[in-house]
């Protein structure tokens, strides 16, 4: 089995290095730039309006959907605010250097627009089930929205995406999370990977069987708490190293275009390495263009698809531009990025170095472990919903329960497999899901342009 896993890891690594990374590079940013220009930087000009929608200013009790704007956002955020914010940032710096953070910012900025587009389309082409619940996401806007253009190939593209979404749910939202959780529990408390993996899998099963409404109830309470806890501790460290912050921003930007090698764990010295690792980890962090969050936002109660699209545009801002930046600053200002330590250990060292200044370095292990558990667990339960929607699309309601058991089995696999195989698998399946979705978004750009034009015309006429 060990030899087979080593071979599998090697094959996946070759795909990521020579195929997947370049495909994402060629499609993700150009698509984000295209929509940003065509829709006149809507992620900036409508930023305040998005918050007004989120706080319920325009909500009506008669609107169709399963959950409100806030719960849709927290459900989607709980899937994106995960180990990418703690481990992913450290890996980006480790393999791409501090300059990779700049490209994470770029991915986050254009990702705001990609989220807006895919979630608006998911609302527009969603399906209302006989029991009143909602099914939506890229597979529906592919099948319905692209049918006039592609005919029967629209359905084929939707099936390809759905298969990729099931695979991605097992990797991105599952194995990467359980792997990091059990690794942290083992490092901090000596708990075996297999025992903690089994416990996490059983707990996930109890929650996900309750469906979207139970998931939304859990995440709407968990996400604000875990984000606040993590942000407060990061701000404490940055306050202690505040003099280093301006120079750090300059260093990140300059390093983004040079890829200058440094001592310690930094392995990439070329610009292309910095660029690819920044974009990959940015995509893993906010999932913009991947189409996953569109499944949660499709279920939101709203009369106008554009409203949920605008709410969803806040996700990459909160996740990548804000939370990931704090993690990166902690790692860089404290010098942890030059330690030669990889993954969560680099982030851990950054916080420990900071808290050592006030004599509280001993709490760092516990703090990072708790944060990682909360972040990763919320991601696991949210991604189960995405995988369920994809499985339901492929095989109907009969596929839901078997999928739940398969999903929990992969929680356990992620806990006991090696970190290299898990993360390489994650990077591979992300490309399987993202590429067909970006193609669909580009083909549906005329539809999106009309949605934007009609919505803001109604707003100008005070008809909203």
Mean pLDDT of 452-459: 91
Give me 165's structure tokens: 């979404």
Taking only the tens place, the pLDDT of each residue in 2-27 is 778 788 888 888 888 778 877 887 88
- The answer to whether residue 120 scores a pLDDT higher than 90 is yes
> Cα(443)–Cα(441) distance, rounded to whole angstroms?
5
Residue 100: the pLDDT is 86
Residue 86: the pLDDT is 79
User: Could you tell me if 298 and 140 are in contact, meaning their C-beta atoms sit under 8 angstroms apart?
Assistant: yes
Mean pLDDT of 218-245: 82
In this structure, is the dihedral angle defined by the CA atoms of residues 215, 216, 218 and 223, taken in order, positive or negative? positive
Mean pLDDT is lowest, of 144-153, 352-361, 367-376, for: 367-376
**Nearest C-alpha neighbor of 161 from the set 139, 133, 189:** 139
- The answer to whether residue 66 scores a pLDDT higher than 90 is no
Residue 247 burial class via C-beta count within 10 angstroms: exposed 0-12, middle 13-18, buried 19 and up = exposed
Higher pLDDT, 163 or 263: 163
Residue 269: the pLDDT is 47
- The answer to whether residue 333 scores a pLDDT higher than 50 is yes
Phi, psi angles (nearest 5°) of residue 67: -140, 160
Residue 221: the pLDDT is 67
Mean pLDDT of 164-191: 86
> Cα(464)–Cα(460) distance, rounded to whole angstroms?
9
Taking only the tens place, the pLDDT of each residue in 245-264 is 999 999 999 888 875 544 34
Residue 218: the pLDDT is 65
Higher pLDDT, 322 or 275: 322
Selection from 116-120, 297-301, 371-375 with the highest mean pLDDT: 116-120
Q: What percent of the chain has pLDDT over 70?
A: 87
Taking only the tens place, the pLDDT of each residue in 90-115 is 888 887 788 889 988 998 999 999 99
Alpha carbon 428 to chain centroid, angstroms: 15
Higher pLDDT, 64 or 139: 139
The CB density around residue 445, as the number of other CB atoms within 10 Å, is 16
Q: How is the chain split among helix, strand and coil, in percent rounded to 5?
A: 80, 0, 20
Give me 187's structure tokens: 């490092």
- The answer to whether residue 212 scores a pLDDT higher than 60 is no
Mean pLDDT of 132-157: 91
Mean pLDDT of 404-409: 93
Residue 284: the pLDDT is 64
User: Could you tell me if 240 and 333 are in contact, meaning their C-beta atoms sit under 8 angstroms apart?
Assistant: no
Q: Which residues of 333-354 are buried (b: 16+ CB within 10 A; e: fewer)?
A: bbebbbbebbbbbbbbbbbbbb
Mean pLDDT of 372-377: 81
Q: What percent of the chain has pLDDT over 90?
A: 35
> Cα(434)–Cα(237) distance, rounded to whole angstroms?
35
Per-residue confidence at 452, pLDDT binned at 50, 70, 90?
A: very high
User: For the chain, what is the total number of helices (H) and then of strands (E)?
Assistant: 25, 2
> Cα(135)–Cα(385) distance, rounded to whole angstroms?
11
Beta strands in 394-444 (DSSP E): none
- The answer to whether residue 57 scores a pLDDT higher than 90 is no
In this structure, is the dihedral angle defined by the CA atoms of residues 208, 210, 213 and 219, taken in order, positive or negative? negative
HSE value, Cβ hemisphere, 13 Å, CA-based, for 343 = 16
Range 144-149, long-range pairs (CB < 8 A, 24+ positions): 145/121, 145/440, 145/444, 145/447, 146/440, 146/443, 146/444, 149/443
Residue 210: the pLDDT is 66
**Secondary structure of residue 464 in the 3-state scheme:** coil
Selection from 75-89, 219-233, 406-420, 445-459 with the highest mean pLDDT: 445-459
Whether domain 2-460 has CATH 1.10.860: no
Mean pLDDT is lowest, of 83-87, 260-264, 273-277, 358-362, for: 260-264
> Cα(221)–Cα(227) distance, rounded to whole angstroms?
11
Mean pLDDT of 140-163: 94
> Cα(98)–Cα(116) distance, rounded to whole angstroms?
28
> Cα(464)–Cα(39) distance, rounded to whole angstroms?
20
Mean pLDDT of 45-51: 90
**Nearest C-alpha neighbor of 135 from the set 289, 298, 294:** 298
Selection from 122-136, 215-229, 321-335, 370-384 with the highest mean pLDDT: 321-335
Taking only the tens place, the pLDDT of each residue in 296-321 is 888 888 888 999 899 999 988 988 88
Residue 264: the pLDDT is 43
């Amino acid at each position: 089995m060990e030899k087979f896993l080593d071979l599998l890891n090697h094959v996946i690594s070759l795909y990521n290095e020579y195929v997947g990374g370049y495909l994402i590079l060629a499609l993700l940013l150009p698509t984000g730039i295209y929509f940003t220009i065509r829709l006149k930087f809507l992620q900036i000009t409508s930023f305040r309006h998005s918050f007004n929608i989120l706080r319920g200013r325009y909500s009506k009790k008669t609107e169709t959907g399963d959950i409100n704007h806030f719960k849709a956002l927290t459900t989607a955020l709980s899937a994106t605010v995960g180990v990418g914010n703690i481990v992913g940032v450290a890996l980006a710096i480790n393999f791409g250097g501090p300059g990779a953070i700049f490209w994470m910012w770029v991915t986050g900025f254009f990702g705001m627009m990609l989220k807006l587009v895919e979630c608006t389309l998911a609302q527009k082409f969603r399906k209302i089930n006989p029991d009143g619940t909602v099914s939506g996401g890229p597979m529906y806007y592919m099948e319905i929205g692209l049918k006039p253009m592609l005919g029967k190939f629209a359905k084929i593209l939707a099936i390809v995406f759905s298969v990729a979404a099931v695979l991605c749910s097992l990797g991105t939202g599952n194995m990467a999370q359980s792997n990091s959780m059990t690794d942290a529990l083992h490092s901090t408390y000596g708990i075996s990977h297999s025992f903690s993996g089994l416990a996490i899998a059983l707990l996930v099963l109890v929650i996900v069987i309750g469906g979207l409404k139970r998931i939304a109830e859990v995440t709407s309470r968990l996400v604000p708490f875990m984000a606040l806890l993590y942000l407060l501790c990061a701000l404490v460290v940055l306050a202690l190293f505040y003099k280093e912050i301006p120079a750090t921003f300059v260093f990140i930007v300059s390093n983004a275009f040079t890829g200058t090698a440094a001592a310690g764990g930094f392995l990439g010295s070329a610009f292309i390495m910095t660029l690819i690792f920044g974009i990959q980890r940015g995509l893993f962090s906010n999932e913009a263009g991947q189409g996953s969050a569109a499944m949660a936002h499709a279920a939101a109660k709203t009369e106008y698809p554009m409203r949920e699209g605008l709410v969803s545009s806040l996700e990459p801002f909160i996740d990548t531009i804000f939370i990931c930046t704090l993690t990166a600053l902690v790692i860089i200002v404290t010098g942890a990025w030059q330690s030669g330590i990889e993954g969560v250990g680099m982030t851990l060292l950054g916080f420990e170095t900071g808290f050592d200044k006030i004599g509280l370095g001993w709490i760092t292990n516990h703090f990072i472990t708790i944060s990682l558990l909360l972040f990763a667990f919320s991601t696991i339960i949210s991604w189960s919903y995405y995988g369920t929607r994809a499985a339901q699309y492929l095989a109907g309601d009969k596929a839901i329960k078997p999928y739940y058991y398969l999903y929990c089995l992969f929680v356990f696999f992620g806990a006991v497999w090696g970190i290299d195989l898990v993360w390489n698998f994650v990077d591979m399946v992300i490309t399987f899901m993202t590429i067909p979705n970006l193609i669909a978004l580009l083909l549906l750009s005329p539809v999106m342009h009309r949605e934007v034009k009609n919505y803001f015309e109604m707003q100008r006429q005070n008809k909203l």
